[in-house]
Each structure stands twice: as structure tokens, then as C-alpha cells.
Structure 1
Amino acid sequence: MSVATPVAGELWVYRKNDNAPSECVEVLSVTQHGRKQRAEVRFVDDPPRVEVVPLGRLRTPWANVQAYDEYIANWEKLAALELHDAEAAAIAEVFEALVPESVADIYDGRYDYVVSVHDETAFAAIVGCPINEVATQCFSCRDGDTLLLGREGALISAELACRRNPQPILDVVFAEEAEAREGCKHGRKRTYKLHADDGDMTSPYWEWYWYLKSTRPRLELLRQWCGFRAVTADERRRAAEDEARRLDLLLVDAIEELERLNSPSAAWIKREHDEKRITPERVRPQIDRPLRPDEMPVREIKVRSRRWW
């Protein structure tokens, strides 16, 4: 919190760690030990107690103790929620895909998955609601101009962002499930080795274990955040595209078989297949203006005259 350097004779806040209470110490001297600095301090509440401590344990001048204690307490409240591994991984996936780092980030030197909002207007547009509605559902505070949302806020924000823009997340889910399917069939190339005798490929059994333990819970949580309608609409679209491709390949095989049999229908079916293919450019109804009378085609019909007399 403080960037000042302790000087002999000053009173500073000493904390053995972030969870320890603040203690008042008098700085006796500051010495350099290689690349590290250490300070000799006397504890004001226990004068006989003198210790040599790392300089990092002296947090701020004693005059700032109240503000410092409040600052540390706020961070403890922000990170109070213990996230499941699947929740943490899903939050990271959503923020990486949908939230630019210039708008908000979830990684901090102190605690991860606490949301630091840098651009509140842009963040509200991403989650689809005013930022105050998110802030009131979790512990929140400010660190200068930055709004901080607790880990509950990270979960809420990730779900709202998925509901607002589900397709990029569903694309990620589909791609990762396709990779997991191949891994559970054949294994995959190792990205790292825990032991020297590990092979270059993982086994399908290990991939199946990892899918059940980590991948599937995370992907199911992402689906839940995207919502039932978005998930079913995406599945229907993918099913329609895959079925159209299957039928296209089946028709190509049928045309080749007709050509092998020298069937006269082969050329006609092939031409109809190519020329009348429904593409994204043609799927919209074609709307033309009405024709003027002089533009309408004239059809002449010859009629045999009859004599009635």
C-alpha cells in the first residue's frame, strides 16, 4: 500500500503475514543483505522484543494503520468465497473469450478471481445490466478509480456475459468436446511430463479420467450459464448443418453410381444439384418490385374462328 522506505526512528506497521494483526514497531536500522533488505525493529507494545525482519513485512507508516487495516479487510472479504476448480476455470474461460483486459480482469497479485473493473460502461454492456446491479449482489469496494467485485461477482458476471453473448462460449465448448472425444479414443500428445519415463502420448484411460474430473464439469457449467434456449438453438443449427452435409455426400455417391451405370438421369440430377444449391446468399426470399403494364409479357393465343351461320 505504501511505497515509502522505512527510516531509522520511524514507527511502522508490522505484519508477519496478511492474516496476522497489525503491530506497531520502531525502525532501528535498515541493512542490505545481498539483493534483500532487512530491518531491525523494536516492538512498541513489547520494548524488550527486538527482531531483524524482511523489509516487506513493514507495510506502511503507523499513521496509516487504520486505512491499511481496512484495505486488507476488504481484500479478505473480496476473496472470502472458496471457488470450485470447475467454477474458477469456467470464469477464466468466459473472461478470456468475452471481456477484454482493458475493461476488466480477474487476476491480481493478491487474490485471483476478484474482478477489477477498469471501464464500468463497457463492462455493463458486456454483462447486459448496470454495474450497480452486480455490485449489490456481492461484496464490492473501490481501490482508487478501480471498482472491485468479490468472487461472487465474478460468478455472476460470467453467467450474465454468457447469457448476453452465448455463441462464442458454445463454440469453445463444442471444440473442446471434440478434442476430448479424440483424446478418449486415441490419447493425445503430452504438453508436459511429470516423470522422465512418461511417453510422448497420454493414454485414452487417463484422458477419460481427466474428462470426468475436470473437463465435463466445466463445460456443463458453461452450458448452464449460456441458458437452455441458446444451447438447444446451437445444437439444432449444428445438427441441420451436419445432416445437410451427410445428405450432400450421399447424393454425390448416388450420382457417381448413376454415371457408372450410364444412366441418362445422372447429368440432369448433377446439374440440379449444383445450380439449385441453397446457400446463405440465396436463403433469403427474393423480393422484386411489381411489373408495370408495359413490362408484363404478352402471350398470344391462336383461336380457331367458328361460323354460326
Structure 2
Amino acid sequence: MTSETITADAAGTWTLGDLTVGRVGFGAMRLTGSAAFHHGTPSDRDRSIAVLRKAVELGVNHIDTAAFYFSSLRSANELINSALSPYADDLVIATKVGPFRNYAGEWGGLDRPEDLRAHVEENLRQLGRDHLDLVYLRRMRQDSIAEHFGALADLRTAGLVRHLGISDVEPRHLAEAQAIAPVVSVQNKYGLDFREPETDEVLRLCGEQGIAFVPFFAIAGDGGARGAATSYDAEVLAIARAHGAGPAQVRLAWTLRQGPHVLAIPGTGNPDHVVENVAAGALRLTDEEVGRLNALRQKAG
């Protein structure tokens, strides 16, 4: 694959409510440092800004972030503001609320529903915006999301939020949220080496109902927030060689094959990796290759 000439258009588009985005976006978590969140070496500021500008230069118009994406010296939202403001009219910035981190980097669990307005306002302040395009409620293992999602729906009515999504949920939570307000997107952990029947069911329901499904850790796999996978199954490597591509690109291409409603948000702090991730949107796996990868996934837990 010749990555340099490939733009985000190659992957096609999807509509989040009334907002059209490319199916390959950008996840901002890794902008802040080598190991995500407060740990590890803080990122180089100029390099992180270059990553964001490179993504937009390649046609990426969907950026996923959160106010709790920060390290000891870097805030993802502040980097986005510095790199991309004034924002292009077609740029969609999605953020997440629910979990709480203090400025020492310590997690405080899930805030009360009435505290979510402060979460939204903090994202607005950091990003320098008067409204948020898309806000996800990140579930923190609570049984019901109705009260918290209802609080976000009120902020949507007030004009602070344009569209709503939910994250880390089961099928019953999707139905619960939809009874309160429209859901345009769902974010769950999903990937080639991660198989969970409830998430597979969420993926199916989203496809049937025209809701975007946005996997996180699609490349990182078991590495999760610590970073991308460094070892790959032989099947993935063989398919990568057949296409002259990298194994991470194969994982992204497989993810996009799961349905036209599936959006990828690979994150990186490396401008070269941005080019490779966007190029994965042009990688067309054969049905036979998808079958081999699906068989590999059946072995995953």
C-alpha cells in the first residue's frame, strides 16, 4: 500500500445524527504521553500538534477525546484546541463524560448525574467551543444509566450538546437510553482478539437501527490504554504481507468490514502512524481473508 496518497475519503462516510464523518477518525487519548493518562513520559507538544494537523490534512473530520485524557504535562483537549482552532465547519469532536479524575490523575469513579453539567462545561472550556457535537455517557459498571443519561439529555435540550452517545454498555442499556433521548453512537471495546457476546449483540442492534458503532482498542487489543499490540497472530501477519500492509492496518480493515456503521478511531502520538491508520481505510480484504480472521477471532476470549 502507498500510504502517503491515501486520504480518509477511502473509507467512506457515516452520519451521526445530522453530522457526516469519515469512517476512519482519530482517538486523542495517546496524544498526552507514552502510556496514556497520568503515567509514563509526557508527549512532545509540537509532535502531538503535528499529529492532529496531519490527521486533518488527510481528511479526518472525527476526533474522539475527553477532559480526563491528560498526563502530568499534557491535556488532549488543550492540544486539540491549540492545533485545530478555529475549527473547520465539518470537524466533529466527540467527548466522553461520567468518570472523574482529579488533577493529580487519580480516578474518583462515577460522578453524580447533577455533576455531568460541570463535565460538559469543562470540555467546552478546554476545547474553546460553545457546544459539543457529540457526548458519550461512559458507563462505570452501574446497573442503570437512566438517571445519568437523562441529565445529559437535559443538557442537549439546553443547547450545550448536539448529539448523545453511550459507552461500555450492554444491549439493555441501549434500550434504556433510547427511551429517554436519541442515541447516535455507541462506543464499546471491540476487536479481532476480543469477543464478548453482549458486545456482538450491541454491534448488530446498532447496524439494524442506523446507529454508529465505534470500537475502542481495535488496534491495541489486550494492550488497551497501555499501548498498541506488539505481537500479532501469524494469520494477521500473512494477510498483511499479501497486501503489502502492516498488521495494525489489517486489524483496522477487518474492523471496518464489520458493517458500514462501524467507525474506527485509532489513536497515536506518531505522525507516521496517522498516515498508516488513514490508509487502512483503503485496504480491501477479500471474503476469504475475512473468513480466516473471523475464525481467528472465534478463539478469542
Q: TM-score, normalised by structure 1?
A: 0.20
Q: TM-score, normalised by structure 2?
A: 0.21
Which one has the largest radius of gyration?
A: 1
Structure number having the greater helix percentage:
1
Higher relative contact order (CA 8 A, sep 6+): 2
